[in-house]
Amino acid sequence: MVSNENIQINMAATEVLGRSFSDALYERYCDFESTFDDLKNDCDIVFFVGSSPKQTESGLILNASTVVLTDERISHVGDSRAVAISCSHVELVDISSNAFSDWHEISLLLSSLPHVKTINLSFNPFPSNLHILPVELQWPNLNTLCLNGSHIGLEMIVELLKKTLNLEELQICSNDYTKISSDYGFQHESLKRLYISNNNITDWQSICRLGHLFSHLETLIASDNPLESFRSDDDVNICLPYLHTLSVDKVQVSEWDDIVALTKLPCLNALRIHLTPLLKPYQKDERFFLLLGYMKNIIKLNGSVITANERETSERRFIRYYSQRDDKPQRYFELTEKHGNLKPLVDIKIRAPYLINVRLIYNQITYDKEIDVRQTVQQFKKYLHEIFQIPLTRLRLFYVDDFAFSMGVGGPEELKYPRRVLHTYNIHDGDQFHVDLKPDAPKPQHSNRTADITQRNKKSTDSNTTNSSTSSDDDKTNISIEISPFSFDSLQKLTEEKSTNNNNQTTTIELDYLYPSIEKNIEIKVNDDDDDDLLLAAAAACNNIKTK
């Protein structure tokens, strides 16, 4: 009987060791209700995928060409013979994010998958040290090998390359590579596509060394590397003679000479480059025509196929861009030979015909604004009220035709009609609107006119004497009505006010209805000594009125 202690030890060992590839394959793809031990007692076990498994003398075979067992804690192969038979039709295996850490298990797995063309071993905890594989070991059918995020050393990568001589695609992204050495002593002639993005490579010389390692490289995806330049002493015609597709997005190049250096790649015709300090100061359309202007052989830029019309337009814009600059590149002179010396295009700003640029002026404050001449004067005044914070009831507006005013044939015209539309004033760009304030409305008030009562009595007496002696009756009537400020009612009111006033007080007589053209009120200062004179003057006035 097995003790509990032994069971715990076996469970701990299983947890450390992880699952086998064969067990994970069975659990994921087997349709049978039998246990794994029952199935393998009498025959070789082959697992399958799909609704129609194929029955053979040796067991069941997977009908699918793809096996995906990611994040399953797989650390070893298990039953390698069962794996080889069950996966005889499988061409792609994805076992990324598992627990493989032993190169012997990887060698056994690859040997158990004779027909697999693509295998993804990314994000497995492989050892970083070099492991020499047996000389006789070869995987000639392997076409694509993915080792992203595995942190495998480049020396071990070269060791694997020696066993996969027909490999065409290698993915080694996110492995913290900083520099590529040139002394690997090996050259792979079949590899065409290399993915080495998201590493820490800073110099272009390391990229050239990869070209020496892969002599027939056609596609290089090296984005997210802090490359500071695309220039080196290596001859790219020798190290990268077949490279036609290059992705260097999110690099750190900052000079157009680096773009010029890329033009020396003899077969380069597809480029992807977006985020870089070099292109940051430019707008999207400027980046496009500048890159195309420099790179004459590019037929695909940032994923877009370049048409003949786009090519010509970009080259012509390139000429105009550098025509006004002193730092003309050599490419500028090449393009002028092709398209000629082009004059800068006229900068025409197209806007709606009803939008006019005018100048608004108030109290030495000037605003240059674009106004809509379809609005009425009243609407325009409301707009000015909001700008200058002027009471709308006090706002006056004058229009000045700038051209006519400068020629001396026109002056300010006040906009008095609230419903008139602005465009009827024939407003042009540069015309002015001057804003002014109406004066404050006069407040109702009683003003007093002070008159010396003695002088008024004298004038009144003289007037009456003259009228009675020198004028006809009709003339007397007209003159009396014209110059006499008194009526019977006003004199009666005056007598009542006189009786109520104290000594040395001022008496005020309202003359609004008598003298509408003079100040409204006359203030008459009266003293006690003049009471008799005042009464005499009043009596004389009454006699005058009765006579008429």
Is the pLDDT at 58 greater than 90? The verdict is no
Question: Which pLDDT belongs to residue 365?
Answer: 87
* pLDDT band of 403, cuts 50, 70, 90: confident
Element (H, E) at 398: strand 395-400
**pLDDT, tens digit, 9 for 90 and up, residues 103-138:** 999 999 999 998 999 999 999 999 888 888 888 889
Higher-confidence position of 5 and 109: 109
| β-strand pairing of 54-56 with 193-195 | unpaired
* pLDDT band of 474, cuts 50, 70, 90: very low
Q: What's the start-to-end Cα distance of the chain, in Å?
A: 155
Domains and CATH numbers, the chain: 19-339 (3.80.10.10), 352-438 (3.10.20.90)
Which residues in 390-401 are b (16+ Cβ under 10 Å) and which e? Answer: beeeebebebbb
Rounded Cα distance, 548 and 545, in Å: 5
Compute the half-sphere exposure of residue 34: CA atoms within 13 Å on the CB side of its CA.
Answer: 10
Output the pTM of the full model: 0.60
Which residues touch 428 (CB under 8 Å, ≥6 apart)? 356, 401, 402, 403
